[in-house]
Amino acid sequence: MKSMQSKTIVITGASKGIGKATALHFANKGFNLVVMARNAQALDALVTQVEKNGGQAVAAVGDVSIYPDVERACKLAFEQFGAIDVLVNNAGLIDPISRIADSDVQAWDHIVDVNLKGVYHGMRAAIPLMLAQGGTVINISSGAATSALEGWSHYCSTKAAVLSLTKCAHKEYFAQGINVIGLSPGTVATDMQLAIKNSGINPVSQLAWESHIPPSWVAQAIEFLLSADGKNYAGTDFSLKNNEGRALVGLPAVS
């Protein structure tokens, strides 16, 4: 078994929010990092921050909706560090929020390209490289995967499809040592919540900022899912919205 300090993690959507928090969390745990996002400047700043603290990180500028970009990031991890132990499919969009009849067709289609096809692209590129030694794929999910929310037809539909991808990949690869797990964090204090707030559509937009959890909690949950106990949730969505899930991660309960 590899020590935690020798493991390599690939994180999409790593330039901000959950992705950045996850990168910094696992850099502090001694992981080698490959961080992917479209924003080259933000990625370079993240790599510099990691390296100043003694970690190892490389940037892979690219768009998860473009398969060759994702494939290049995964191959870079293999070439630089010899393996991919963990893939975090984090990149995702929700804006523009609108009701179906008012939606922009191209924008709706783009959400599918990023939120759904981006996750497929990540698994398609990483799983073949994981098969020799095993690994874990974490797909960032949402309560929207099993709920219908006004104005979120694009987001709910893609997150439901990602949950199905998680289940399919589990059925295909669990016996070969690959754990595919969804993580439904609830509402997180990121730029996505600002877009939701500004939309004014559905009850989520009315939540106070203080009700959202910090991105660092999601990173802690990912660490839990990489443990032996995390395997119990393979093929499912693990939720941080309930007190049972938070207790397992070591996070505060919700009153």
- Which residues make Cβ contacts (< 8 Å) with residue 217, sequence separation at least 6? 185, 188, 240, 249, 251
The verdict on residue 222 lying in a domain is yes
Q: Is the pLDDT of residue 247 over 60?
A: yes
38 vs 12: CA distance, rounded Å: 10
The verdict on residue 18 lying in a domain is yes
Confidence tier at 5 by pLDDT (50, 70, 90): low
Query: For residue 109, what are the domain limits?
Result: 4-248
The verdict on residue 226 lying in a domain is yes
User: Token match 């179906």: residue?
Assistant: 100
Q: What is the CATH number for 177?
A: 3.40.50.720
Instruction: Look over the chain and give the mean of its residue pLDDT values, rounded to a whole number.
Output: 95
The verdict on residue 159 lying in a domain is yes
The verdict on residue 253 lying in a domain is no
The verdict on residue 219 lying in a domain is yes
The verdict on residue 64 lying in a domain is yes
The verdict on residue 46 lying in a domain is yes
Residues annotated as catalytic (active site), given as ranges: 155
Count of domains for the chain: 1
Q: What share of the chain is helix, strand, coil (3-state, %, to 5)?
A: 55, 15, 30
Confidence tier at 175 by pLDDT (50, 70, 90): very high
Give the model confidence (pLDDT) of 23-35 as tens digits: 999 999 999 999 9
Give the model confidence (pLDDT) of 43-73 as tens digits: 999 999 999 999 999 999 999 999 999 999 9
**CA-CA distances (angstroms) from residue 108 to 21, 120, 173?**
27, 18, 31
- Which residues make Cβ contacts (< 8 Å) with residue 244, sequence separation at least 6? none
